[in-house]
Amino acid sequence: MSTQYLDATPPHTPGADLPEHPDFLWRNPEPKKSYEIVIVGGGGHGLATAHYLARNHGITDVAVLEKGWLAGGNMARNTTLIRSNYLWDESAAIYEHSLKLWETLDQDLGYPILFSQRGVLNLAHTLQDVRDSVRRVEANRLNGIDAEFVGPEDVKKLCPIVNISDDIRYPVLGATYQPRGGIAKHDYVAWGFARRASDAGIDLIQNCEVQGFETDGDRVTAVRTSQGTIGAGQVLLAAAGHTSTLTDQLGIKLPLQSHPLQALVSELLEPVHPTVVMSNAVHVYVSQAHKGELVMGAGVDAYNGYGQRGAFHIIERQMAAAVELFPVFARAHLLRTWGGIVDTTPDASPIVGRVGYENLFVNCGWGTGGFKVTPGIGWCLAQTLAKQEPHDLVEPFGIERFVSGVLVDEHGAAGVAH
Amino acid sequence: MQLIKCPWCGPREETEFHYGGQAHVEYPAEPAALSDEEWARYLFFRDNPKGRFAERWSHSHGCRRWFNAIRDTATYRFEAVYRPDEPQPVNS
């Protein structure tokens, strides 16, 4: 392989590049009687959509309704990985669109998001893993996405603490490597989008739980909330794992199953982990946060759940895998664990587009990988709402595919088994 | 980790079990008569409630038999377990 990516300097003192908190974030307005567009869900996707509605289309008669506090759901719970090395053209296109937006998002938002392109390794542990990985690398390159397959020695150069000995249960046989992948600071991403949307005149309404809908023929006319009924010209549901609880109230069934997905962090450590390492086979993914915590995730818990927690044995397996791959972790202390609720689909790809009603759009089914697409999907949803027809990049993800059979089967590249 | 009560073996640790999704999904009586839309509904669409859910579990590391359960997806509490040939408990 080329060595151009192998001399990356490790991150400097943990926390040194964290900016001060800003004095002003966003307004907290009372809801108006009605809006041109009502977005349900004040997480990353909802806020990004609001931002791009104002920025790209000049549409600001918009409310973002959040049942709790802004970005307090999966946006606050995810492991912040960003990459675009998906297998199929449809997925590669939207994730790469998003990655390009990440690369200039600081300037766009006028707010630091600490996007750190430290590279993402997806490890291969079996011959079949290797074949699948090489296939994906070639597919990525055909789509103009930076990717290469690296051997165990190069894995070691990129991330020196990985155990590449061949006498472990699942030896490292190589990895895909996407140098432009990395992490960002999730809170700052949300705050950046929220601040710009609010500045532009969009109302971000917290503690506003959607309790039902009013419809007239083939249109949704209003959203009933804990802060009263709010009229809506168009409605976008961007509620991640809780989308089914909303569509159930409209009598719309979606092919979604909601599962707990757990993550955890260690105490703060000196910089030891200069890149992002993912492993589907042994099921752990690790990066080191800007402050110094090791951030780890695993697969979803098998059962359906909305409890924002999961079973301990999942964490136990994940830690066992982590310690085998990274023996130095054996001395790290676990600081905290948590769970988010992710909505999975039969083909591990999202459902985006119009469902059931003329003016009702959903954005759901992102499973375990919604964070990385935050700017990209916001961009596409804003155009979808502005023009009332799906943006080209989300068109393949319409719900019709479950009838037509044109699935986008990303189980192999989704990163986490679900 | 919680104890799950297998109808045959009694309470065992969660790690002994395998999850099987929604229960009582009937195979189509006349498969050849189904439209694409109906096939999609049968194959891909399942309930996803926040609350009580009738679902299938297998005691895969024990007696290896499938059974049904009523579980609350918000609390994860098992409210009932019953054998495949038993009806879904009333009031659940």
Closest CA to A83 of A34, A118, A125: A118
pTM for the whole structure = 0.95
* Whether A346 and B21 lie within 8 Å, measured CB to CB: no
pLDDT of A282 reads 82
Predicted confidence (pLDDT) per residue in A148-193, tens digit: 999 999 999 999 999 999 999 999 999 999 999 999 999 999 999 9
Residues constituting chain B: 92
Q: What is A117-180+258-344's CATH topology? A: D-Amino Acid Oxidase; Chain A, domain 2 (3.30.9)
Tokens of A341: 């609720």
Q: What is A22-83+186-255+346-404's CATH topology? A: FAD/NAD(P)-binding domain (3.50.50)
Q: Residue B10: in which H helix or E strand, if any?
A: strand B10-13
ipTM of this complex prediction, to 2 decimal places: 0.96
Tokens of A6: 């192998």
Site from B19, B35, B50 to mutate, A interface, most A CB atoms within 10 angstroms: B50
Q: What is the torsional sign of CA A150, A152, A157, A161?
A: positive
Residue B2 contacts A, CB cutoff 8 Å:
yes
pLDDT of A392 reads 98
Residue A242 contacts B, CB cutoff 8 Å:
yes
Structure-token match 């037509």, residue found: A404
Domain boundaries, given as residue ranges, for chain A: 22-83+186-255+346-404, 117-180+258-344
Predicted confidence (pLDDT) per residue in B60-84, tens digit: 999 999 999 999 999 999 999 999 9
10 Å Cβ neighbour count for A378? 28
The neighbouring-strand residues paired with A354 are A361
* Whether B19 and A256 lie within 8 Å, measured CB to CB: no
The distance of Cα A88 from the centroid of its chain, to the nearest Å, equals 18
* Whether B49 and A244 lie within 8 Å, measured CB to CB: yes
10 Å Cβ neighbour count for A105? 22
CATH class of B1-25+49-92: alpha beta
Q: Which residues of chain A have pLDDT under 50?
A: 1-3
Which of A253, A302, A303 has the CB atom closest to B45's CB atom? A253
pLDDT of A1 reads 44
Q: Which residues, 6 or more positions from A310, have their beta carbon under 8 angstroms from its beta carbon?
A: A260, A261, A262, A300, A301, A339
Q: Using DSSP, state whether A233 is helix, strand or coil.
A: strand
pLDDT of A20 reads 78
Residues constituting chain A: 418
On chain B, the residues whose CB falls within 8 A of the CB of A303 are 19, 55, 71, 73, 76
Residue B19 contacts A, CB cutoff 8 Å:
yes
Domain boundaries, given as residue ranges, for chain B: 1-25+49-92
* Whether A258 and B73 lie within 8 Å, measured CB to CB: yes
pLDDT of A2 reads 46
Residue B61 contacts A, CB cutoff 8 Å:
no
pLDDT of A3 reads 46
